Structure 1
C-alpha cells in the first residue's frame, strides 16, 4: 500500500513539473556563492544612542537668586571656569564678620594669656617666699589657684580662636556652594535658568532640571539594549560593529566595554541587558551625543569561507540552485549565520547561482526559471 502511495506522489510531482514547464519560465533573483567573512552576531533589540564618556548635570546644593550666568548653550569651557553664580552678598558679609570675630578672639586670648603669665610669676615668687619662711601656706595656695584659673582662661581663649576659625571655614564653604565651576573641559549643552530667577536644590526623590548640562566631546561610546537570552554570550572586549543613522554608509569598529550586571524589566516590553561599546577610528566623523546607533557584537567569525545570502536558505539547510535554466533543490551543511550571510560548509561550490527570492510561489525542484 505504501508503495502505491509513494508512486502516486512521484507521479503528481512529475505531472506538476511537466505542467509548470509548459508555462513561461519563472523569473527569480539569484546571488553567487562566494568566499568571504561570515560572523555570528548579536544585535540590539531597540535603537541605542551615542553617549559621552563624561557628562554632568550640574546644579548647586544651595538655593538662591541667580546673579550671573557666564555661558550660553554651545559654549566650550575649560576646567575651573566660572559658569554660574548665585547672589551671595550676605555670605560675604558673614565672612567679614567671621574675620572680625577671629581678630577679637585673638586679642582676648592675648589678654588672658598675659594675665596667666603674670599669675604664674606671682605664684613662683610666693613659693620662694614660703621656702624662706617669709610667707604662709595660705598665700601660696591662693597664688596657685589664681594662676591655674588664669591658665585655664588662656586655654579657653585659644579654643575660642579655633572656634572662630572653624566658623570662617564654614562661611567660606557656604560661599563656595553659591558658585558653579566647570569640573572638566566640555561643551555646554543646556542652560536652565535666567539672571534674577531663583534656583533651588532638588528635594530627595524629586528630579529637577540641572542648571547646566555639560558634555565632554572628546570621547564617545554606544549604549544599546540586548535581549536577555543573548546576555550569556556577551563578554567585555568582544569586537563590535557600530552603525550610526547619521552616517548610514559607514561602519565604526568598537569593543564591548561594559555589560550591565542586571536585567532591565519593564512591563509589556522585552527584558533586556544594557551593553556599552567603545568606538574607535571615529575622528573623521563628528559625533553628537544623542545620535541613534545600533551595534552588532561578533560572537564568532570565519574568514575566507563559502557563503550565501541568508535569504537564500530555507528550512534551515535547503537552497535552490539555478543550473542551465532549471531549479535544483540542494541540501547544504550550514555553519555560522547572521541576518546577511550564512556559511556553507558543504553542498555548494563557489560560483553556484542560488535563488534569493525563495518566498515567491511556484518554486519546485526541476522547474524552468529565468534569472532577473
Structure 2
C-alpha cells in the first residue's frame, strides 16, 4: 500500500513538474490606465497648404515695349499709386503735347469768333430797331440777322472743337497709361521680370508669360489648405482650427475657418479636394510669417471636455481593446462604444470605467485575448 501511495505521489510530482515547465510564460506588456480628459474630433489637410496674402497681384503692362523707367527692386516696399515701371512712350507724349496745343489754339479761336458773334448779334438788334423806324430796308435787316446767326454757329463750332481737342488729350493720356504700371495697393515687391532697357510683353490670359512685377500685401495673411472631399461637408465657416508650419517647428497657431470653397479641385492622380481658408487669431510678428510657407491646417469639428477616453492606438478592429484582469493575470477582449475620436484619443461611451488598464503594446508577439501577461509599466491616462 505504501508503495502504491509513493508511486501515486511520484506521478503527481512528475505531472506538476511537467506542467510547471510547460506552462505558457507571462508576456510583459505596457498598460495605460483609462482616465478622463479632453477629446477633439478634427480633420486635417491631405496635401500641404500654404501661407497666402489677402492681396497679391501680378502686374504686366497692357502693351509691349522697352522698359524706360524701373523705380523699384525686389523686396522694396511701395505705396498705393506709386509708379513702378514705365515703357518708352516718347511718341505718345508728343501726341499728348500736340493735343494740348490744339486745345489752347481752339480756346483762343473761341474768344475771337464768339466776340464777332456777339458783335453781329448787337448789330442785328440795331438793324431791327432802324427797320422799325423805316431807316433800313427789310433786306438790310435780314442780312444783319443772317450774319449774326452765322457768327453764332461758328462760335458753337469752335467751342465743339475745344471739347474735341480736350477729348483727344484724354485719349493720349489713356494711351500713355497703357505703358505705365502703378501699385494698386501698399505692398512688397516679390519679383521683377525684366531690366531697364529690356523689352517686355503683356501676359494675356491663357499664355504662360511671366508678369513683369509680382506685388504682395503681406500685412494681411491667411492659410489655404486642401481638404479631402469626404471631410469638406463637415467643415463650416467660424470653426476653430490649428495651424502648424515647418518653418516654425513646435509652434501651434490658433485660427478660425473663414472660407470653404464651393467647388472641388480635381488634380490628375491625386485625391479630389476642397480648398479651405483660415485666418490666424494671433498672427506672428511682421516678417516671421512669409507668403509661400508650407502649412498644415487642422479643423476642430467637435470637443468633449472631461470625458472618459483611451489612446486611439489601443483600439483593435471592431472598436475593441485588450483589458488587463489583475485577478487572473490575463487579457480580456472588451468591446467599447466609441464617441468622437482623433489620432490621439477616442471617447469611450460604454464598456470601460475610469481606472481600468488596457494594453498599449499591441505589436508584441503573443499579445491577444486570454494570454497571461505581466504589467511592465502603467501609463496614466490624461
TM-score by length of 2: 0.86
Where structure 1 has 5 or more consecutive residues not aligned to the other structure, the ranges are 1-17
Of stretches 122-131 and 284-293 in structure 1, the one that deviates more from structure 2 is 284-293
Distance, in Å, in 2 between the alignment partners of 1:340 and 1:117 is 94
1:151 is aligned to 152
Q: How many residues align?
A: 355
Match of 1:326 in 2: 330
Residue 347 in structure 1 maps to residue 351 in structure 2: yes
Question: 1:269 and 2:270 equivalent?
Answer: yes
Residue correspondence of structure 1 range 17-56 to structure 2 within 5 A:
22-56=23-57
Distance 1:28 1:247, change over 3 A: farther
Closer/same/farther in 2, CA of residues 77 and 311 from structure 1, 3 Å limit = same
Counterpart in 2 of 1:14? none
| SS of alignment partner, residue 54 of structure 1 | strand
Match of 2:308 in 1: 306
Q: Cα 1:143–1:362, aligned 2, differ >3 Å: closer, same or farther?
A: same
> What is the root-mean-square deviation of aligned Cα atoms in Å?
2.3
Alignment partners' CA distance in 1, 2:99 and 2:366: 94
Report which of the two structures shows the higher radius of gyration computed on alpha carbons. Answer: 2
For residue 359 of structure 1, report the CA deviation from its aligned partner: 4.6
| Residue aligned with 2:218, SS | coil
Partner of 1:222: 223
Output the CA distance in 2 between the equivalents of 1:259 and 1:133.
Answer: 91
TM-score by length of 1: 0.88
SS in 2 for 1:218: strand
Q: 1:191 to 1:30 in 2, by over 3 A?
A: farther
CA distance in 1 between partners of 2:264 and 2:224 (Å): 14
Q: Which moved more, 1:293-302 or 1:359-368?
A: 359-368
Q: Report the secondary structure of 1:216's partner residue.
A: strand
Judge which range, 190-199 or 166-175, deviates more: 166-175
Matched, 1:295 2:275: no
- Answer with 245-254 or 100-109: which moved more: 245-254
CA distance in structure 2 between the aligned counterparts of 1:29 and 1:83, rounded to whole angstroms: 66
Superposition map of 1:153-172 within 5 A: 153-172=154-173
For residues 25 and 309 of structure 1, the distance between their equivalents in structure 2, rounded to whole angstroms, comes to 24
Moved more, 260-269 or 41-50: 260-269
C-alpha spacing 1:79/1:27, structure 2 compared with 1 (3 Å): farther
Separation in structure 1 between the aligned mates of residue 41 and residue 318 of structure 2, nearest angstrom: 15
Question: What whole-Å deviation, never above 9, does each CA across 1:11-41 have from its counterpart, x for those lacking one?
Answer: xxxxxxx99x934433434433232211111
| Preserved contact between residue 202 and residue 211 of structure 2 (Cα < 8 Å) | no
Q: 1:50 to 1:335 in 2, by over 3 A?
A: same
CA contact (8 A) 1:311 1:357 kept: no
**SS of residue matched to 1:219:** strand
Tell me, what secondary structure is at the counterpart of 1:217?
strand
Question: Secondary structure of 2:139's match?
Answer: helix
Q: Could you say which residue in structure 2 is the equivalent of 1:5?
A: none
The alpha-carbon distance between structure 1 residues 287 and 22, as it changes in their structure 2 partners (threshold 3 A), is farther
Q: Is the Cα contact below 8 Å between 2:49 and 2:225 reproduced in 1?
A: yes
Deviates more, 1:221-230 or 1:262-271: 262-271
